[in-house]
Structure 1
Amino acid sequence: MNLRLAACEPCRQAKLACDHEQPTCARCRGRGRGEACIYRARPFKRKRPHQEQPAEHEAGEQNDTSRSQVARLRNPSTYSLPSPQQHHYPNPGFLGSSSHSAIFDRVSSCANTNNGTPNDDLRPTTPPPSYPSSSSKDSPYDQATVQKGVHALNQFAHLNISSLKSLVEFWLSTGVNLPLAEPLVSGCALAVLNMVTRFPPPEKDDDPSKWVSARAATLTENTLRPFVFRRDSSVAEYVLQLYGDNVRWETLGIFFAAASRAALDVAFFPLLYTSEEQRYRLIRLLARVGDYCLEAGLELDCLNDMQLVLQYENCIVHSQVYGDQNYLSWRRVGDLISSLFALGYHENLDDQISRVPNFLIQLRKAAFARIYSADKNLAVFLGRPPRLVRTYCVYQLPSNIPGLWDIQDNAAGTTAAGRRLYETLPDTYGVRETDAINYTADTRCSAVFASLKEEILELFRDRDPRRQVDRASSIRSQAAKQWEMLPTHFKLVTSLKECHLKPFERDFLVGTRLDYLHTLFLLDLVLSRHISEPNDSLLKVAMEMLSLVVEAIVLRDRLVAHYGLPAAGITSLAMLHPSVGKDTGPLLRSKILQDLSGLVAEVTTGAFIQAGQPNFALFTRATRTIQTLLNNLMGGEPSSEVEIAPQQARLDAEPVDEWDPWVNADIWDFEMNFWDNLAEHPLLQGWEHGI
């Protein structure tokens, strides 16, 4: 007996063959009409005239089950939900040309061609990303998903949201922001405050369960609702789906990411904290609530642009709160890349220009570039393989368009000046002379140098010295060309003391210069045959990096860890070998001592990092080794417990030339193992105990 399968409404009304695939058939995907692909609940029962309903009503009937599930959240006596029905297929996200979907699309196309259907209607091309209807009856949230939201709101109910909003506003007034969610932070903060103003949490002594269940139901229902936009949608139309009555888990998550970053940067804010202990307790609490908001949204299986933005900002918060070496931070970068692939934003985003507003396309490009750069920097810092490889991506950068996200702007989301700039100037991988210094410029510059770092990482695995030299020379030329292509106002040409710019602009200049120097540093590192004796080229770059990092110590530990520690490691090795860097001269060697001393002083006095902060153990190990080196070079006294004669005898028996800190380590690894190995240098033995 053959099973009859119903066609979707567009195919049925056009009397065309349908492949019956759900939630969207191949024909509707190919025509870009995925939102209209609806299957009737009772397709083979003839309707009476008075029962005819518009298509929108039929779609609404399909939402009844999910709405009833959400309604159960409003029951104050329980947080339970029935086990949801499974999707016919799990949420597939983007499916590329090698996927099962593309293969079956081709089969359907051939079958329809044989049946007389024109081949042009179903040509086997990769369809645009098709996301499942998040309000369908198969909404995949269960008890575990609900519990994430409950945890978030239980903590949320006891927070002073008004003071947190004031903290975020004060932080924004200094010129900094979240790099990817920048245009949304102020609106999300206001929306969260308005929510607690309209629906205030109970007093501290009252049971918050009724309030929590009601808010969780509303947030979940709003999050399940897909974002709606057209090519001509305005910024205001789009962001309203995050604010007011439409507050979602993403709204809360972005607000808590901004609050976490603000508390990290603002050392004293009497409305919330007056001591370091109070501040770090609040930071960890905000980070935890942000984690719950993100997880509550992701587990609803309705991945979208705002969830990707929130994932990125949450990942940055994790790296700053728990450190770059923390496994949870590493795992979150992997999850972030997985979401990028699932959304299909590693493909050519310009193909979406006919149905997606330009401001959203630029946001997606910025997300790709930011995630790509973060992956490369973390891979270099930890000595691990990159996970977002350019070979499998369409490398694309956002355009620096003035006023792109202005709420009061026209429907296209672009000012007239910005639109003319976007249309008349080709968007190359370089930076335009007219670009402003902002987060988009920072995204573009970091992604350009990240692409070169990926090529350098490949060199580390190439054991052929001749190929290494040739390829390194080519990469060096590319790096120099990219630096020369930068506008003059993007380059740091004076010392920071003489740079009279706003803090954000000054930090941008430092970061861009360090990105360029870091590229040269890695190139020299990969070509070094005896890393314990760095060559003059490597030492020169390391000295400039270290000097710049020490001068810009106010940029906190992330900058110092990624750029300062590798530079300090190379210069420390050079100082242990007087013959190395002989061309630098006594003045430059004294400058190295000065910079190393400054770095040690900043760490040991707790000026910028203290116990309990991320990367504290790494900095402590590094500075302790550097301090041992400085004591040795400046003629300090070793530990009284160490006898000089036996120590000298050991050095005579074990030549220093045979010592190599990379015997059992990766060449680019400047983590804890490097500093442990350096501390074992024969010239430093005996001094370590005297500190």
Structure 2
Amino acid sequence: MSSMKTRLAACEPCRRAKLACGHERPTCARCISRRQGDSCFYRARPFRRRNSAQQAPECATTTKPANPPSREESTSSPHQKETQRERERDLLLHLPESELSTPVASATHRYPNPGYLGTSSHSTFFNQVTSRSAPESPAKNGELPFQAGVGAPEDLLQDHALAGRAIYTLRRLDQLDIPNLHLLVRTWLGRGVNLPLAEPFVASCSEAIVALGAMFKERAVTSTDGDNMEVSRWARFILENTLKPMKLRRNSTLADFIALMVGDNLRWETLGIFFTAASRACLDTPAFNALYANEEERRVLVKTLTYMSDCCLETCLALDYLNGLQLVLQYENFVVHSQVDGDQSYHSWRRMGDLASSLFALGYHEKIDELSSDIPAFASELRKACFARVYAGDKSLAIFLGRPPRIGKEYCFFQIPANVPEVWSPTRMETAGNETSPFQSGTDSIAKQVPKGLEPINYMADTCCAALFAFIKEDILRLLRGTNSVRDEEITNEIRLRIEKQWLELPEHYRLTTSLKDCRRAAFERDFLVGTRLDYLHTHFLLSLSSQVKISEPSETMLEVAGEILSLIVETIILRDCLVNAGTSLIWKVSQYGLPAAGIISLALLNTSIPPSAVAPSRSKLVQDLSVLAAEITVGAWIQPGDPNFALFTRATKTIQSLLDSLISWQTNPAPAQSEQPMNENFMGDLDPSFNFQSWEFEMNFWTDLAEHPTLLN
């Protein structure tokens, strides 16, 4: 330091009150005497300099110590921690551009971020006026001329909540074992599992976060004052990258797109995809000693990674700069929450609503045609895949919870992606866009053409099949709210023909026609075949349910479908070690398909007026499958307390076990002759009025009401 007298900066409360500051740190004496210690902080750059050469640290807080203390040594009081957080946010908000790796983007931010505006919006009318009054300057690239910007991206960074979340996330990142998390993700990917939508990006995102973590370790990022500037610099750097539009051209490749989210273009979506993939890998990997030694440690890590994914997603959404990559992260985050919180959780339900909102805001529900737009083929297919995944997920969750779906096909141009792997090649494939799509979609006939070659079984195939059956399920949901009129019967018959037609139009190797144990396929392919078959059977199950007059007297067709579903579910549980997640988890398969089938079968077994010949398969087979299902859940071989939907499984298992005990009791202790009347005359007639659930809902209320059946043993 020179002998020249140093000019000291006043703290913010003293500066604003125009009072003399004592310059004590971290809290000045005047603020302490005025009881304003909590709000006392010093800005990183309180004085304006004419050039960067004159810019020098104002205090010792911006110098990095040679030997930073460990985390154990850096503990402080709550007051000091709050002051620390305030100073960190101030560093981020007032960090000079000259100290950033990249300058602040000069393009103005359009606020509010309107996204897609349809034909009924105000923009349609104003665009017509503009096109008539100024035809020489039409809107380009879909930009709306009447969206005035009110500030640059710099304005969005002047947000203490946003800055605090960004810094907190990076600090938590530094506390995680990134190299071993990367190893976990690589091991998980090696088993053929991935994120359904973010599949092309997971490996690159993981590598990018490893590089970021290594840089943090190299620069010893801790909670010391000297490193606050380093964390703030990185937080602002990533925030600015996230605000940059991901510009693509017609000849852009997948490698070009990935380059826009890694390295010098690292974005919050990149971090979010990594944490989401790590959470899914942790969920699917029961043992990984490098990160967790027992089930409790695994659960803690899953929740931590899920929370980190939430922080990244919320940071992206707070920037109000919606894009397709954010929608991909939103979907994957929703799937993680459904597996962590359960499908009955409001967290999952709310995130599905957010997904639908983002889908409409981006306009992905409209026709997506790469031939008439300036986007590459892979970007077009990614948008179609986003629509298909969100649309199918919306129908599945609505059916499971018995709630209205959020996305109606009458407002959408139904498109599903082409399963052409060449489209996702890192290099440009000129013939990729000319390949025949395996599913040429339209509202009249969803799947008309099947290519000559065998279509691969992958996540894109699962996306296509799920969307195709979800398209039909939406029509069935309307029937479930009908009155079983003659017109409904005609519609039911027409839908039944569509289901069979859809099943037969699938590529032959997509259809499971044997038992699962006789299927000689890889683990991923077997799981895909199971999921597709269950989706097909579930569509028939819902259609049969829509035509039921009394739920306590299921038809022969419905019992046949329910028996096949339950049998396949039981076989899947038993052979679960030979399967990997090809789109839906085992817990979801049992919840969505197995429990409704078990519920209908339980009602049929309670109703002795149904002759044994009307039950296919035989009663003994149904009892056997119910016994195995109850035993697998009771033992806890694949689901334990704390797992999603565990409460639902517990209630259903107790009811099924009571049913089985009652059946055994009826066989071993026959009733006296005077009471040998059909059981339905005694009890089944009183069953329906006590049922308090929607006709398509087989969650908690169903099993609670069924447990109160008077014939079940307590």
**What band does the TM-score fall into relative to the shorter chain?**
0.7 to 0.9
Structure 1: which amino acid aligns with 2:622?
I
1:477 aligns with 2:497: yes
Aligned residues with identical type, % of pairs:
47
1:319 and 1:178 map into 2 onto residues whose CA distance is: 14
Structure 1 CA distance for aligned equivalents of residues 680 and 519 of structure 2: 50
Q: Following the alignment from structure 2 to structure 1, what is the Cα–Cα distance between the partners of residues 680 and 330?
A: 56
CA contact (8 A) 1:129 1:344 kept: no
CA contact (8 A) 2:342 2:644 kept: yes
**8 Å contact from structure 2 (residues 563, 617) kept in 1:** no
Q: Aligned runs of 1:512-591 on 2, under 5 Å?
A: 512-553=532-573, 554=576, 555-580=585-610, 582-584=612-614, 588-591=618-621
Question: For residues 652 and 532 of structure 1, what CA distance do their matches in structure 2 show?
Answer: 9
Whether 1:97 aligns to 2:119 is yes
| Alignment RMSD | 3.2
Q: Is 1:398 aligned with 2:417? A: yes
CA gap 1:261/1:89 in 2 versus in 1, 3 angstroms: closer
CA apart distance, 1:92? 1.1
Cα gap change, 1:347 to 1:401, in 2 (>3 Å): same
Which of 502, 508, 513 in structure 2 is aligned with 1:488?
A: 508
Give the superposition deviation at 1:256: 0.7
Instruction: Indicate whether 1:432 and 2:450 are aligned.
Output: yes
Aligned to 2:89: 79
Q: Which moved more, 1:235-244 or 1:667-676?
A: 235-244
Q: Give the AA of the match of 2:114.
A: P
CA distance in 2: counterparts of 1:637 and 1:435, whole angstroms: 52
Match of residue 670 from structure 1:
698
Q: Distance in 1 between matches of 2:666 and 2:223?
A: 64
For 2:655 and 2:165, locate their aligned partners in 1 and report how far apart those are by CA, in whole Å: 44
- Counterpart among 291, 297, 319 of residue 338 in structure 2: 319
CA contact (8 A) 1:403 1:415 kept: no
Secondary structure of the corresponding residue to residue 404 of structure 1: helix
Counterpart CA distance in 2 for 1:442 and 1:672 is 29
Q: Identify the range of structure 1 (211-220 vs 221-230) with the bigger mean alpha-carbon deviation.
A: 211-220
Spell out, residue by residue over 1:191-237, the C-alpha distance to the aligned partner (whole angstroms, 9 max, x if none): 10011112327769754745532331221111111111111112111
Equivalent of residue 353 in structure 2, options 334, 340, 347: 334
Equivalent in the alignment of 1:151: 168
Kept in 1: contact 2:268–2:312 (CA 8 A): yes
Please give the alpha-carbon distance, in whole angstroms, between the structure 1 residues aligned to 2:533 and 2:437: 30
- Shift of the 141–680 alpha-carbon distance from structure 1 to 2, 3 Å rule, reads farther
Measured after TM superposition, the shift of residue 664 of structure 1 is 2.8
User: Which residues in structure 2 correspond to 1:382-461 (within 5 Å)?
Assistant: 382-407=401-426, 409-410=427-428, 414=429, 416=431, 418-422=432-436, 429-430=446-447, 432-433=450-451, 434-461=454-481
Q: Distance in 2 between matches of 1:181 and 1:674?
A: 36
Given that 1:661 and 1:674 are in contact with CA atoms closer than 8 Å, whether structure 2 keeps it comes out as: no
- 1:183-198 to structure 2, matched below 5 A, reads 183-198=200-215
The residue type equivalent to 2:314 in the other structure is: E
Structure 1 Cα separation of the partners of residues 407 and 167 of structure 2: 34
State whether structure 2 residue 282 is matched by structure 1 residue 263: yes
Shift of 1:139: 3.2
Q: Distance in 1 between matches of 2:522 and 2:144?
A: 41
Is 1:96–1:126's contact at 8 Å kept on the other side of the alignment?
Answer: no
Deviation at 1:575, TM superposition (A): 0.9
Compared with structure 1, are the counterparts of its residues 657 and 424 closer, same or farther at alpha carbon in structure 2 (3 Å cutoff)?
A: closer
| Residues 1:540 and 1:209: Cα distance change in structure 2 (over 3 Å) | farther
Paired with 1:195 and 1:158, the residues of 2 have a C-alpha distance of 13
Contact 2:692 2:702 in 1 (8 A): no
- 1:176 is displaced (CA, Å) by 1.0
The residue correspondences of 1:112-151 to structure 2 (distance < 5 A) are 112=134, 127=142, 136-139=153-156, 142-151=159-168
Give the deviation of 1:107 after TM superposition.
Answer: 2.5
Aligned position for 2:4 = none
- Describe how 1:638-677 pairs up with structure 2 within 5 A: 655-660=683-688, 663-677=691-705
1:595 paired residue number: 625
CA distance in 2, matches of 1:523, 1:132: 50
Q: 1:331 to 1:509 in 2, by over 3 A?
A: same
Cα-to-partner distance string for 1:84-134 (whole Å, 9 max, x where unaligned): 9x977411111111111111112233444xxxx57xx759x9946899989
Q: Distance in 2 between matches of 1:243 and 1:522?
A: 45
In structure 2, the partner of 1:218 is 237
1:462 deviates by 1.8
Preserved CA contact (<8 Å) 1:491 1:512: yes
AA aligned opposite 1:402: P
Residue 298 of structure 1 and its aligned partner are, at CA, apart by 1.0
SS of the counterpart of 1:157? helix
SS at match of 2:599: helix
List per-residue Cα deviations over 1:158-194 (Å, max 9, x = no partner): 1100000111111111111100000000000001001
* Offset of residue 505 of structure 1: 0.4
Residue 658 of structure 1, CA deviation: 2.7
Q: 1-side partners of 2:219 and 2:164: how far apart?
A: 20
Report the Cα distance in structure 2 between the residues aligned to 1:448 and 1:149, rounded to whole angstroms: 40
User: Partner residue of 2:54?
Assistant: none
Tell me how far 1:586 sits from its aligned partner: 8.8
Q: Is the 8 A contact 1:572 1:629 kept in 2?
A: yes
> Does the CA contact (< 8 Å) of 1:546 and 1:595 recur in 2?
yes
**Alignment TM-score, normalising by the size of structure 2:** 0.78
Matched, 1:308 2:327: yes
Deviations 1:329-377 (A, max 9, x none): 1000000110111111111111674311110010000000000000000
Q: Find the partner of 1:254 among 267, 273, 281.
A: 273
Report the secondary structure of 2:467's partner residue.
helix
1:168 match: 185
Shift of 1:426: 5.5
Q: What letter corresponds to residue 683 of structure 1 in structure 2? A: T
Say if 1:252 and 1:290, in contact at 8 Å, map to a contact too. yes
Q: How many residues align?
A: 594
Q: Distance in 2 between matches of 1:519 and 1:565?
A: 15
Moved more, 276-285 or 126-135: 126-135
Structure 2: runs of 5+ lacking an equivalent? 1-61, 64-83, 95-103, 577-584
Decide whether the 8 Å contact of 1:241 with 1:247 is kept in 2: yes
Cα deviation per residue 1:234-290 (whole Å; 9 max; x = unaligned)? 211111011112111000100111111111111111111121111111111110110
Distance 2:639 2:252 in 1: 46
Q: Structure 1-normalised TM-score?
A: 0.80
In structure 1, the residue matched to 2:486 is 466
* Equivalent position of 2:312 in the other structure: 293
Letter of the structure 2 residue corresponding to residue 498 of structure 1: D
Change (3 A) 1:334 1:391: same
For each residue in 1:494-534, what CA deviation from the matched residue of structure 2 results, as whole angstroms up to 9, or x when unmatched?
Answer: 11111121111001000000111000000000100010111
**Separation (CA, whole Å) in 1 of partners of 2:158 and 2:398:** 34
Query: SS of the counterpart of 2:201?
Result: helix
Which shifted more, 349-358 or 164-173?
Answer: 349-358
